[in-house]
Structure 1
């Protein structure tokens, strides 16, 4: 009854989007009568998790609205919901006339009247929400009706405000639903697009997995990373046991399978099957089955590439063919570097390029760039931008401001409508909107691997005030509509790929250099033959991060547990565990971890920031220290491959299971990932510390004349010496020319005599 009523309410509230109109669960549910009592659990969603950063909101007279969004998983039903709101109204607000309206999915659920004792004080509201109004995707909206006087008000007055604290919380009581085993909804329920929390998906093996099972799990983790996108992901690994209260992925062959699958019939082909966990109809298992490890890899490849064909509770993968490998730098999540990229290709959700309101919210886009794009000498990146907007009431004061990575770049005036713009009225879709186009050059040095482009439309509004006789004229504020043209382009074509290595920041934030090919076709991973669960989890986290950054699964990655096979490798190498002898003796290794004994190279001078220029002498090794100590420690190091000058090695090392868990957590945490840079990063319980020490090298191609200019640009003293040399050479040439001219004139004079 709750589901049916929720759907009816959604239609009545005008939710034309099919996602809004859907009931709380779209997956088919099994009969609960034979399953006992469904589990119920409580969750708390802090505003820091579900509200726009930083989690707090300030409602004002010109921007009276604020909202949070949250989803409900398809395998859960909300039975109770409660909002704990901490807010502080302005002391200037007139009591009773000022209110805070709270809407759930555009249905008014409560009205808070500001009273005299609330003004300027911290207040708490506990509000029960009707779960019948909660659907798959939900919006909780707050609207301030603020007044500071009874006549001649100015909505832009700075005394009209109400702060909502980021300490506010949403409490949900969720009941599990027993789902049918139906693969047509895959990746649900293992990954639910309605769930905005970080994906946590356990992977289960019968015992320590061999190299074939490790590769199958790595490819599948990268695919789930693609689907998780911005959410983040973690993959806890278990041996011969199921997780408590979570869906799981289970890898099993006919000869090697967990104890809880002993009675499962053998398979004669790669098979994917969805079943309930033993004794628990509310938790599902996705079984990756095969005769051997090769079948498991085939099953994963079929699942990744052919998931749109899945249906029923079981699917047999008849055959899988990998066609042409990916080309360099063609990752789906990266901006094109061979042609201009349209803004439509950068959008991540519907209506992202539109906004509305008296002061419209900013329009934002994310630009993911290959980390080795050489932009040092670039004058700027050209961006052709078109926009449409509601004409402002006055000609001065309104503007469009463009920001890149929270830094102001340029602004453009928003002019009022004139007779020249009446021709736009012939186009119904943009009737009443102004249209404009500008070419903007973005300074290249302000770009990184992940960038945010923001367009702020700021409208200047004029409000009439009081007059000498006590009368005033009221102007009703209008809603402004702004649109960034999806055919706008940004052009990164024509730039070379050239980067100084090692660059652990590029690895942590973009999976580089392995992500140069989105399918990891030129990547080799050296793993342990008998990995611990923590080592396996770290491997899967790295693969999930790479998939999320590139937008493509690692279908062609190579894994090996034999250190001798990496010799003379023409691939970029990722080492998870102990360095093999062929790499361990390399003089470029700045950190070595061996049980409780750790060796570390330190530079002559260490800068606190990664973007500070450091000379080769300051970066050179100033000391070598060996310490034996208790306590967990892990490290990420980067150095040049001894087998190919254009290839790199990144090694992840730890001295204990707890240290592997710390390393795994650091790779999952965006803040800690941002602290990983340089050539070596040390992870301890106190946090992450990074060093830039030792020699560097360059990967990519740059013509010799551009390398010369780059060297001069990065070494001022060398540039000065070169300038002096050029002046001296030019002076000598001029001197010789003048002598030749003088001699010729003297010779002509002697001839005339």
Structure 2
């Protein structure tokens, strides 16, 4: 719901002037600058400096909305009469987007398939659901060093930048027991050895084995469901080979909290805590940020390599029909087979009906 203001003057070419709107470098719409209402001229409203206000409804396409967005309003003011030595706009010309403009997201669905390190890297989800991080607990080692403290402050800065609010409601603790973490999303900052030794990692898709991080093997039931899952192609052996050959671990791990099924754990870990700040600050680079996906993302020297090795779950709520549509959208083969099955089910009765009508018609012609 946009309300915008622009000059109302005789020098402005109202037909040629316009307001162009774009979001994330994608053009949306052009709005006219129609000038002042006719009745203002009758009452003398055009004397001196004056402005006009207009209102418009602009739809923001959901496919182009991300965690960080840039909405651009580009005024193009054209002179109506270009006399000699008057080819530029007058001084002190002002345009504005009025503060009572609003972006309406009330009818949006609030749901996300988790874990999703991509949404964490982009917008700090799920921690930034509460702008001041009142529903977040940060777990750090008993004696955090400078690297951990710096990484913690850098992460809080990213969250604050995403929400526009200070992270004054966050809870920082050294304990990882269920009483403290139940009902909260959990952010772990530390080294793999200390983080993996707690009960918090009991349901994690990775574990500490011989001082190295390894992916937990799936049980037979999980393997069967993985065959029709969009994440079923994740090769646990390949992931373990990558983790084993790496001399160190720097990356992110996400999984469902063992203390609250509706909550998520994200662990920011590095074998050398001095590298933690660089790991967090790397999320500000567009190339690195785009590579952080799935539930396990590890540095590989050139950037990040991501995997999806754990079980997924829904955070939030969606209508049943939309969940079914989402489920099929990630399984194109099953969607094609379902479409073929529906076509057969519809074609069968229709074929029998047409055959029956043909027999009646042929029978009536024979009788005639």
TM-score (norm 2): 0.74
Is residue 2:272 matched to residue 1:653? no
Structure whose CA Rg is larger: 1
Corresponding position of 1:422: 41
Query: Contact 1:535/1:576 (CA < 8 Å) preserved in 2?
Result: yes
Is residue 2:315 matched to residue 1:706? no
TM-aligned CA deviation for residue 585 of structure 1: 5.5
Is residue 2:77 matched to residue 1:459? yes
* 1:132-169 deviation per Cα after TM superposition (whole angstroms, max 9, x unaligned): xxxxxxxxxxxxxxxxxxxxxxxxxxxxxxxxxxxxxx
Against the structure 1 CA distance between its residues 436 and 648, is the aligned structure 2 distance closer, same or farther, given a 3 Å change threshold? same
CA–CA distance in structure 2, aligned partners of residues 543 and 527 of structure 1: 14
CA–CA distance in structure 2, aligned partners of residues 701 and 505 of structure 1: 19
Is residue 2:187 matched to residue 1:580? no
Is residue 2:175 matched to residue 1:562? yes
TM-aligned CA deviation for residue 432 of structure 1: 3.9
Corresponding position of 2:296: 680
More contact order relative to length (CA 8 Å, sep ≥ 6): 2
Query: Contact 2:215/2:236 (CA < 8 Å) preserved in 1?
Result: no
Corresponding position of 1:689: 304
CA–CA distance in structure 2, aligned partners of residues 516 and 498 of structure 1: 11
Against the structure 1 CA distance between its residues 568 and 661, is the aligned structure 2 distance closer, same or farther, given a 3 Å change threshold? closer
CA–CA distance in structure 1, aligned partners of residues 329 and 170 of structure 2: 38
Is residue 2:150 matched to residue 1:537? yes
CA–CA distance in structure 1, aligned partners of residues 177 and 138 of structure 2: 13
What does 1:96-135 align with in structure 2 at a 5 Å threshold?
none
What does 1:279-290 align with in structure 2 at a 5 Å threshold?
none
Corresponding position of 1:495: 108
Query: What is the DSSP-based 3-state SS (H/G/I as helix, E as strand, rest coil) of the residue aligned with 2:57?
Result: strand
Query: Contact 2:137/2:170 (CA < 8 Å) preserved in 1?
Result: yes
Against the structure 1 CA distance between its residues 531 and 568, is the aligned structure 2 distance closer, same or farther, given a 3 Å change threshold? closer
Is residue 2:126 matched to residue 1:513? yes
Is residue 2:22 matched to residue 1:403? yes
Instruction: Report the RMSD for the aligned CA atoms in angstroms.
Output: 4.0
697-706 or 579-588, larger mean C-alpha shift: 579-588
Corresponding position of 1:726: 342
TM-aligned CA deviation for residue 702 of structure 1: 0.8
How many residue pairs get aligned? The number is 339
Against the structure 1 CA distance between its residues 696 and 410, is the aligned structure 2 distance closer, same or farther, given a 3 Å change threshold? same
Corresponding position of 1:478: 89
Query: Contact 1:463/1:474 (CA < 8 Å) preserved in 2?
Result: no
CA–CA distance in structure 2, aligned partners of residues 728 and 395 of structure 1: 59
**Which is richer in helix?**
2
CA–CA distance in structure 2, aligned partners of residues 593 and 721 of structure 1: 42
CA–CA distance in structure 2, aligned partners of residues 424 and 716 of structure 1: 65
Query: Contact 1:641/1:648 (CA < 8 Å) preserved in 2?
Result: yes
Q: Which runs of 5+ in 1 are unaligned?
A: 1-382, 465-471, 602-613
CA–CA distance in structure 2, aligned partners of residues 580 and 566 of structure 1: 18
Query: Contact 1:389/1:483 (CA < 8 Å) preserved in 2?
Result: no
TM-aligned CA deviation for residue 403 of structure 1: 0.8
Query: Contact 1:598/1:628 (CA < 8 Å) preserved in 2?
Result: no
CA–CA distance in structure 2, aligned partners of residues 593 and 405 of structure 1: 44
**Which is richer in strand?**
1
Against the structure 1 CA distance between its residues 435 and 524, is the aligned structure 2 distance closer, same or farther, given a 3 Å change threshold? closer
Query: What is the DSSP-based 3-state SS (H/G/I as helix, E as strand, rest coil) of the residue aligned with 1:496?
Result: coil
* 1:32-62 deviation per Cα after TM superposition (whole angstroms, max 9, x unaligned): xxxxxxxxxxxxxxxxxxxxxxxxxxxxxxx
Against the structure 1 CA distance between its residues 549 and 474, is the aligned structure 2 distance closer, same or farther, given a 3 Å change threshold? closer
Query: What is the DSSP-based 3-state SS (H/G/I as helix, E as strand, rest coil) of the residue aligned with 2:346?
Result: helix
Query: Contact 1:509/1:673 (CA < 8 Å) preserved in 2?
Result: no
TM-aligned CA deviation for residue 584 of structure 1: 4.3
Q: Which runs of 5+ in 2 are unaligned?
A: 217-228
TM-aligned CA deviation for residue 511 of structure 1: 2.5
Against the structure 1 CA distance between its residues 661 and 535, is the aligned structure 2 distance closer, same or farther, given a 3 Å change threshold? same
What does 1:11-26 align with in structure 2 at a 5 Å threshold?
none
TM-aligned CA deviation for residue 452 of structure 1: 1.2
Corresponding position of 2:223: none
Query: What is the DSSP-based 3-state SS (H/G/I as helix, E as strand, rest coil) of the residue aligned with 1:477?
Result: coil
Query: Contact 2:252/2:269 (CA < 8 Å) preserved in 1?
Result: yes
Query: Contact 1:574/1:650 (CA < 8 Å) preserved in 2?
Result: yes
